[in-house]
A and B are shown apart, each in its own frame.
Chain A
Amino acid sequence: MMARPAILTGRLGSETLVRLGVLLFALVFLSLGLLFPLAAMLIKSVQDRSGDFVGLANFVRYFQTPALAGSIVNSLVVALSSTVIVVGLAFLCAYGITRTCMPGKRLFRMLAILPILAPSLLPAISLVYLFGNQGWFREALMGQSIYGPIGIVMGMCFWIFPHALMILTTALSTSDARLYEAAETLGTAKWRSFLTIILPGIRYGLISCTFVVFTLAITDFGVPKIIGGQFHVLATDVYRQVVGQQNFQMGAVVSVILLLPALASFAVDRWVQRRQVAQLSSRAVPWQPTPNPLRDWVFTLICYTVGAVILTVIGTAIYASLVQFWPYNLSLTLRHYAFEGLAGGGWAAWLNSVKLGFSVAVVGTLVIFVNAWLVEKSDGYRPLRQGLHLLAMLPMAVPGMVLGLAYIFFFNQAGNPLNWLYGTLAILVLNTLVHFYTVCHLTSITALKQLDSEFEAVGASLKVPFWTTLRRVTLPVSLPAVLDVSVYLFVNAMTTVSAVVFLYTSDTRLASVAVMHLDEAGYFASAAAMAVLIFFTSLGVKLVHATLSHLLLTRAQRWRQAG
């Protein structure tokens, strides 16, 4: 090999250097935001209170304490039940959307997305109002208490449902019409073509969906925190150990245990995704359903029942936040929205959440999109780019509670030069960004993959530096995906509780955490009011996003319609 002096000189050299610099920065960023904190947490789990190495003693103690180890079974029971119910329901609804001629599909899809806009605390609060000791439908539980596994499963199902529906709708709508036509001409019975074509066609989507739902259910903190009562799960144990008992070592142990199912399901999901690629055919013809009154009405009924439940849950929270004193004085008032003198931080917390949301949306979108571009569209430094992709995929496997606790261990260490971050809004931004990194990364990668692979080559052949092509072509063309990413980050920053619950200070209280504190302090109506406030903020941003996207696609980016 000859020496390569030309690369290191002049503007061309600087272009290569900039690329390498940004790549290294991205790697350092994700190492600091993800790898080092996780390592700090793993170390903490094998230390005693004074910081000496004790091997697996903490783990042994954990499993010898029935009150703690029992949570594993509790978590599994709750997560598995939720998974079965959510995947089943979501499959029926996704089938209704994609494979029948039921009326009002768009309306239903809009309804179905609503739970994502609320923190997972909201359904829990509503369920307490509906089925709690003062609830309207208390009798429907036939003597069982809503505080416990029943309430948790119901709450989980509510807010995980949109995630499952989106995955399954995508899986069901990408099947190939030609297969069904072939089956029909061969006189195949309907149930047989369901078993032999539909199920195999969506099996990867179904597996992927199952694992996503399971992970969300086993790692969720909000629902069991509000409605779990004395029924403890892993996520609430982490909180109890750390915040309640200041036992950081045991918190680390529970976190490691909570990390395992999430890591396992992450591994399975990656494996599934890799196999699915080979299945897709670009020549597939989309399938169009033909009317069938009986089937269409059955699915309409199912979907709109689900829609009605969603509206009821959200409506209950809104109503509860507006009445004087449930259930004795049902006259309407706005006083619960004053939050004066109550726990949680009130409107200041809401403002902090909005600030956090916008910061994460702006910073996160920029960082994630540039990193995705580095992975997908730049060349050279292959091992570094693969490493970056791997780091970008990892956050999906790390539950929010685990990430939050890991941040305490890492950033609160004496002697860490980044210690100043602790207690600032910046650490909340970093944490939230890393927490929700993976989905945004995948969205950006997918968008970039759809672009012509030669844009960069053309730019280089015309002696245009890569950042100009990125700014003038790649970014504008990917703008819809970029907007999707930013609104996703905003909504999640507004609604998340799990990671940030360890990281806020009195100056950086957040609305979602305030909901939890108001509920803990017994101000149920104000808790509902704050949850509703978060919901409407997210909804507002989502609507602005929809309008903006629409305007963008029809006006500013006229070129999209030129064809």
Chain B
Amino acid sequence: MTTLTAPLPRRAAAVGQAADTETDIHLGICGLTKRFGHFTALHEIDLTIREGEFVCFLGPSGCGKTTLLRAIAGLSPQSSGSIVQRGQDISHLPPQARDFGIVFQSYALFPNLTVFDNIAYGLRNQRDDRQAMRKRVDELLALVDLTGSESKYPAALSGGQQQRVALARALATEPALLLLDEPLSALDARVRVHLRGQIKALQARLGVTTIMVTHDQEEALTMADRIVVMNHGVIEQVGTPAEIYRQPASAFVAEFIGSMNFLTVFPEDGDVLRLGSHLLDCPRHDVAGCERARLAIRPEAVELCDAEQGLRARVEHVEFLGAFQRISLTLEECGQTLVADINAREADVLMPGQTLGVRLPPQALRLFADPGARA
């Protein structure tokens, strides 16, 4: 019998605890629901965003993240619920009356206006004198590293440059809130990585509260102060990138972020889980009421050892991925499969068909109820 020495952490609350003080809160969303006919795109969303924070809405397509962003902007008003920005209820204000700047996935640069006119678009309306406007645009151009491009038309710019112009245009009126709707997804991979850092640095420098919608977990993990993981119109988890990665609150989050092994286990009497014929001691787990549960572990957390020291497993396949090797294993006891990412140097002796031992470090394990099998 293998004993898990450390207790498995219980499921964290799905929504981050709102311990913030009143003044610290930039945006408060409460009970926000959006319906399109019979389809509920957002269901009772509660969320608070702090002043100066970089928050990512992350989720698969159709999860409601863009709908939530558009509701915050007032572009597609919610069906019910409220949005409060800096203490003012903006739930029913039209977009013009809300304080935000937005960058769309398509950038929506005005093709018939020069870079200068695009950036100055919102400034003209404020009746700034031309001198001040010129100065502000120059500032913004410098900010996004495009000095000298002011007389070009958008079609003459690369995708990354267009993206930066869109960013400058959104920031021109000094909005308190910056909304980014998949701003990087139309760019090729290398530009994307470069711009990621640039946008993050810019945001940190200006201290503007920012919400970015993305379906790219890497983008969210590298850029966000906090990530809001969404699925099917509800928030699955809110947390820092590390929390989301290390302590996923649900099987969905665990599966969506990074790669994850899932092993089916059966809760026995007391604090015991059965994996095949192995019994795992697991104090204080909260899946006692379930017929089955899923034990989750990241591939890089799986440890290999001698066959006698852990769960016996057979090597099925070895995949070379540069810095590490990905080993596909079958647990001999129960026939379930497992993937382990092993540092390249340790693994070069492994051959398919070989038998070895697998250790699952308790601190790296997460336990989830099997959604289909709740008693």
Contact = CB atoms under 8 A, between A and B. Distances in A.
A6 B97 contact: yes
A15 B154 CA distance: 29
B111 A463 contact: no
A458 B102 contact: yes
A454 B155 contact: no
Contact of B125 (A7, A452, A455, A463): A463
B92 to A, nearest CB: 5
A7 B112 contact: no
Contacts of B155: 559-563
A476 interface: yes
Interface string B170-192: 10110100000000000000000
Interface string A245-280: 000000000000000000000000000000000000
The binding surface of chain B is classed by DSSP as loop
B18 to A, nearest CB: 23
A472 B110 contact: yes
A560 to B, nearest CB: 7
B92 A16 contact: no
A472 to B, nearest CB: 7
Contact of A462 (B111, B112, B121): B121
Contacts, number: 99
A462 B108 contact: no
Interface string B66-109: 00000001110000100000000001111111001110101010
Contacts of B170: 461
Interface residues of A, number: 32
A455 B110 contact: yes
A558 B153 contact: yes
A457 B108 contact: yes
A557 interface: yes
Interface in A418-469: 452, 454-455, 457-465, 468
A557 B112 contact: yes
A476 B93 CA distance: 30
Contact of A464 (B100, B101, B125): B125
B169 interface: yes
A16 B92 CA distance: 13
Contact of A4 (B75, B92, B95, B104): B92
A4 to B, nearest CB: 5
Interface in A212-228: none
Nearest to B98: A461
The binding surface of chain A is classed by DSSP as helix
B95 A460 contact: yes
A462 B73 contact: no
A6 B96 CA distance: 11
Given A458-B169, A462-B169, A472-B113, A16 B94 contact: yes
Contacts of B95: 457, 460-461
Nearest to B106: A452
From A1, A461, A558, name the one whose CB has the most chain B CB atoms within 10 angstroms.
Answer: A461
A534 B108 CA distance: 44
A351 interface: no
A198 interface: no
Nearest to B75: A457
A458 B108 contact: yes
From B73, B111, B113, name the one whose CB has the most chain A CB atoms within 10 angstroms.
Answer: B111
B193 interface: no
B152 interface: yes
Interface in B109-158: 110-114, 121-122, 124-126, 152-156
Contact of B112 (A2, A464, A468, A476): A476
B112 A559 contact: yes
Nearest to A462: B122
A473 interface: yes
11 contacts: A6-B93, A454-B104, A459-B121, A461-B100, A461-B101, A462-B125, A463-B96, A464-B124, A464-B125, A468-B125, A472-B121
Interface of A: 1-2, 4, 6-7, 12, 15-16, 452, 454-455, 457-465, 468, 472-473, 476-477, 557-563
